[in-house]
A and B are shown apart, each in its own frame.
Chain A
Amino acid sequence: MKKISVRTSDGQEFELEENLAMESATIKTSLDAFSRDDIILLPNVNSWEMVKIIEFFTKVQELETKFGVKFMEKKEGRFLEAFQAEFDKDLSDDNLYCLLWTVDYLGIEVLLENLCHLMAERTKNKTVESCRNLFGVQHDYTPEEEAEIREDYSWAFEGPEIEE
């Protein structure tokens, strides 16, 4: 199996198996344009993110063997639980956010779906303020507008499951 070399923004080099590298639409485009012997530069990708991505593919191969199913075809359901349990730990909200950006940049569809699911799980019980912080969203409501929404849907702002 041919290996593709990539270099991340902080100067670290990684060797990826060709079939895994091709899962990234961005890398695939580069490979089509240039020679496969060259190192592909990824200035928008950090080394820790690359480590996580390689970890994901390794995990996928493990799960495919365990469940006997082609992971790429099955996007939700039981597979997701197994994936989530492994991937979720040691990944802070901010790190997850960054990883999501990077995976979208690299165009790795299957991992993107799973990260979106993880992100949704992390976000669902947040307050409005912490949600804004996580996504870096500008608060563009006037105090009156926001108060009106809170009054109309007060039930959605209350509940034991909402994190402080």
Chain B
Amino acid sequence: MWDDCYEGKSLLSPESTSKLCLSITHVFQNWLKSLPEEIIPTILIRLPIKSLIRFTSVCKSWMSTIKDPSFIRTHLTHTLTLNDQNATHLILLHNYGFEEDSYSLHYDNNEVSQYCNIEFPIGLKNRMKNSCFRVVGTCDGLVLLADDLGNEAYNFVIWNPSIRKYVILPKPSVRFSTHGDYEANIGLGYDAIGNDYKLVRVTSLVDQPDHYPRTLVQYYSLATGSWGMLRLLPPCLVNSSRVHVLVNGALHWLAICWTDDHQIKYLVMAFDVGGQSFREIMLPESLQLDELLEFRLGVSGDRKSIGLFVRCKSETNCFLDIWVMKEYCVEKSWTKLMILTPQGPKRSLPKALCFRRSGEVVLILEDDRELVSLEIVSKQFKNLGISAGQVCFVDSYEESLLLLDRKDAISY
């Protein structure tokens, strides 16, 4: 166009002048047209996390938008809605074995294809008393890590692997040195009333004069960064299964109760994180209690209720029962979905890990520790191509920006 204007080094022709004017007007108009402030978050909310982190350096106003707690909350809600609509969900896998300690995210699809590898914060390794941190659970993109096996280990970390930030919790007030021997169970949940994430720790002290254990409930609030004690008595003692289930805003653990005639009763104890209250959920009535039984809780496939895995491996009896409570808190709705018996030439009985969204059950095969997915209706086993180490954790995960606005969170 510039060539047009300088035809044979003579003056601008009328045609070229008007073209030039139009072009300048266009540029001027574009410069004036700066997007209104309100639109920016609408665009940002649709960006992936890595881009958002990078764009905090675009300008100060973008930084404050992205770090704003309500933006973080809206971004999470948007991610969850989108995942549900597109049926793209993620699974977190932690595998610890002789030669590896790996964390990774996978798609919750047929192939369980890898989404990405996760780098574990090196700084944490130096603090460990045990050989690895165990993943206790996840909530809205936050991962609760615990290095708490043994008497002097009280390392709790809340970690967001998607933004590579973590918070090391201060030591809890209930410890072996202060309270004697106890059983403890922990879990991380969202308090919708206080808009806060809470680590709830239920400790059942065993060294009591009347031989009946006393239970203390502590909680760590992410918002205040400190521990508190709840003046609540849970109805029962926790069972040291170390597995909890987070569903419907409540943390669930297996617990033991003593009936009036001194019989032991197993049940599920549910703690509503927002309402700070306990309730009891009965186990299936037909369940025969036995010392040789191993129980494990899980979230149901539809993520609205709980499931139960009951495993028995003895000389006389060998089975894995898979139950689900079809209607949450309706005890009559407990349904036995399947009974698994020893499989294969070695007569090995798998262990159940969790339900997938598809309703399939993830199992660890006893001998070679391979992970398989069991389809309940067709009874088909599908090898997932993943070997479980000594410690193996599998659960749902969703990415979020939580902890980005935490000043004391450590980046790595």
Contact = CB atoms under 8 A, between A and B. Distances in A.
A138 B46 contact: no
Nearest to A120: B46
B51 A125 contact: yes
Interface in B176-230: none
B62 A137 contact: yes
Chain B binding surface, main DSSP class: helix
Contacts of A157: 54
B33 interface: yes
Range, interface on chain A: 35 or more
A141 B59 contact: yes
A104 B86 CA distance: 27
Nearest to B81: A76
B129 interface: no
Contacts of A100: 35, 39
Contacts of B31: 136
Contact of B51 (A112, A124, A136, A149): A124
B53 A156 contact: yes
A40 interface: no
Contacts of B328: none
Interface in B18-58: 29-31, 33-36, 39-40, 42-44, 46-48, 50-51, 53-58
B411 interface: yes
B33 to A, nearest CB: 5
Interface in A105-148: 112-113, 116-117, 119-121, 123-125, 128, 131-132, 135-141, 146
Interface in A24-50: 46
A138 to B, nearest CB: 6
Nearest to A161: B50
B46 A132 contact: no
Interface residues of B, number: 33
A128 B46 contact: no
B59 A153 contact: no
A77 interface: yes
Contacts of B86: 77
B58 A124 contact: no
A150 B46 contact: no
A132 B54 CA distance: 12
A153 B43 contact: no
Given A132-B59, A138-B59, A97 B48 contact: no
A112 B56 CA distance: 24
Given A116-B39, A116-B43, A153 B53 contact: yes
B30 A131 contact: no
A131 B29 CA distance: 20
B58 A132 contact: yes
Given A120-B46, A120-B47, A123-B47, A98 B33 contact: yes
A155 interface: yes
B82 A131 contact: no
A159 interface: yes
A87 interface: no
Interface in A2-57: 9, 46
Give the top 6 A-B pairs by smallest Cβ distance, nearest first: A120-B46, A156-B53, A156-B54, A124-B51, A149-B57, A101-B33
Interface of A: 9, 46, 76-77, 94, 97-98, 100-101, 104, 112-113, 116-117, 119-121, 123-125, 128, 131-132, 135-141, 146, 149-150, 152-153, 155-157, 159, 162
13 contacts: A9-B29, A77-B86, A116-B46, A120-B47, A123-B51, A125-B51, A128-B58, A131-B55, A131-B58, A141-B60, A146-B57, A152-B411, A156-B51
